[in-house]
Amino acid sequence: QDVYVNCYVPSGAPANSLFTVLYTSSSGLPTTPSGSYGYLNSDSSGTVLTQYNSTGAVNAVSKGATGLWKAWLPGLGLSGNAGNLQVTAVDAKKGARCKVSDWSPGTAGQTIVVACYDASNAPYDSEWTLSYSYLRAVHGPAFAPRSFGYLWYNGSLPPL
């Protein structure tokens, strides 16, 4: 799998910047059901291009207003905010960013609102990926790792 990474400053200009890349592809159900893991890749219209759910259920996406989608990951996680969500814009033509705009966990699954923006911070319809993990490694064996961590930072960042 080839992965091309482009980094931009908020104004949209290209920038040399630190970044991380994680590529995952899963198939089949885990032999030892511990934790939860799911991902999906949606195009800008809300069509699911690829998806995986460790319960065997099918993840879904519905399109909202410009730059908004609702993702449904049935059977994953808990009824409280637990686990890790990651959303990334996929757009080779235009600098874009996506984020988790809202997260509604429930016993039946996870509902996530994804919001994407262009370089001028206007809502933008972009392809995107989303991954969710709870008590489960996103790579390696299908059982809980010996140690792992989650970070949810909801504070302000210094200017670039």
- Domain containing 135 equals 1-160
What is the structure's pLDDT at 158?
A: 63
pLDDT in tens, 73-119: 999 987 778 888 999 999 877 878 999 999 999 889 999 999 999 98
Number of separate domains in the chain? 1
pTM: 0.76
* CA nearest to 53, candidates 127, 128, 109: 109
pLDDT in tens, 15-47: 887 776 666 666 566 665 567 889 999 999 999
Q: Give dist(CA 42, CA 94) in Å, integer.
A: 17
Spell 65-85 as b/e; 16+ CB within 10 A means b: eebbbbbbbbbbbeeeeebeb
pLDDT in tens, 56-67: 999 999 999 999
* CA nearest to 87, candidates 62, 115, 121: 115
pLDDT at 160 over 60: no
What the block records as the tokens of 48 is 């699911």
